[in-house]
Amino acid sequence: MASRDDPRKAQRDRLIDDSLKQVFSELEADKMPDEIIDLLSVLKAQDKELKDRK
Amino acid sequence: MSNPDPRDELVTHLPALRAFALSLTRNRAAADDMMQDTVLKAWSNMDKFEVGTNMRAWLFTILRNNFYTSRRKLNREVADVDNVFSNSLSVKPDHDGRLQMTDFKSALNHLQDEQREALILVGASGFSYEEAAEMCGVATGTIKSRVNRARARLSELLHLDDDDALELTDTATLAVVGTSGPRS
């Protein structure tokens, strides 16, 4: 027998997931720190240098 | 014909990776330190990445391993929380039936790390229960249980189980989830 609470639980879960996606999307949109951008530049430059040497 | 360099793909996952780092640590400085470690490890171990598999899952796994290793070293929960969820808020709380985001973010902060992680992986990042279980090194049932407990705890904190709580949200929620046709 299906519980009368099941549709409410499903509704509750969707509401939570929807809010969660909004929070995660806001965090994804946060500006990438300069330290990470700089690190990537260094790593790419190192790789290029290694390739050029070969 | 040359294969695309997986390092180029890595860059495309960085925003999601940072969002995951922020959600785990709830602290910008800690999240950024963890991001740097993860990018370095991933970059230098790229030869171990199996092309054709899920790079986002691979990166998330490296990051979460870093997080739990450093947490174990500190032998405590990460306490220096700087309310990263609340601070990222750009939308004012509304009263149109959706959850008030300030309350929701505050409630997220109250979840246990493992529960918040499972909920973020499955509910927000789109990983399957099986993928999340593999990333966390636990059984699929454990992830399901963590997600269920996290939702139950959020419901409790946000009083979503009150008799009238969801009634107020029906219109907006149904509009969001698309289980009801448009009303004219």
Q: Is residue B179 part of a domain?
A: no
A27 contact residues in B (CB cutoff 8 A) = 18-19, 22-23, 84, 88
In a domain, B118, yes or no: yes
Nearest to B21, CA basis, from B54, B63, B53, B65:
B63
Angle between helices B55-74 and B28-44 (to 10 degrees): 120
Nearest C-alpha in A relative to B148 = A13
What mean pLDDT value characterizes chain A? 86
| Contact check, Cβ <8 Å, B119/A29 | no
Residue with tokens 């709580």: B165
Instruction: Say what the pLDDT of residue B31 is.
Output: 93
Distance in angstroms (rounded) separating the CA atoms of residues B170 and B176 = 10
Q: Is residue B176 part of a domain?
A: no
- Test B120 with A20 for CB contact under 8 angstroms: yes
**Quick one: B63 and B121 in the same domain?**
no
State the 10-residue block means of pLDDT for chain B, 184 residues long. 79 95 91 95 93 94 93 60 52 53 88 94 95 97 97 91 58 46 36
Contact B89 A26 (CB under 8 A): yes
Residue of B nearest to A25 (CA): B19
Contact between B42 and A41 under an 8 Å Cβ cutoff? The reply is no
Chain A positions touching chain B (beta carbons under 8 Å): 8, 11-24, 26-30, 32-33, 35-36, 39-40, 43-44, 47
Tell me what pLDDT residue B54 has.
94
> Taking CA atoms, what residue in A is nearest to B31?
A33
Residue numbers in A near B11 (CB within 8 A)? 40
Q: Which pLDDT value is given to residue B72? A: 76
**Are B133 and B152 members of one domain?**
yes
What is the dihedral sign for C-alpha B132, B133, B136, B142?
A: positive
Domain residue limits, chain A: 6-53
The answer to whether the CB atoms of A36 and B18 lie below 8 A apart is yes
CB pairs under 8 A between A and B: 103
**How many structural domains are present in chain B?**
2
B9 and B68 in one domain? yes
* B19 C-beta neighbours (distance < 10 Å), count: 23
Residue B12 to chain A, least CA–CA distance (Å): 11
The CATH number of the domain holding residue B131 is 1.10.10.10
State the residue for tokens 């050029």: A52
Structural domain includes residue B141: yes
CA separation for the pair B32, B63 (Å, rounded): 11
CA separation (Å) from B174 to A14, B6, B86, B181?
9, 40, 26, 9
- Shortest CA distance from A31: residue in chain B: B15
Domain-embedded: residue B175: no
Considering the domain boundaries, does residue B122 fall inside one?
Answer: yes
Q: Are residues B62 and B134 in the same domain?
A: no
* B6 and B73 both lie in a single domain: yes
Tell me which residue range forms the domain holding B5: 1-82
pLDDT given at position B52: 87
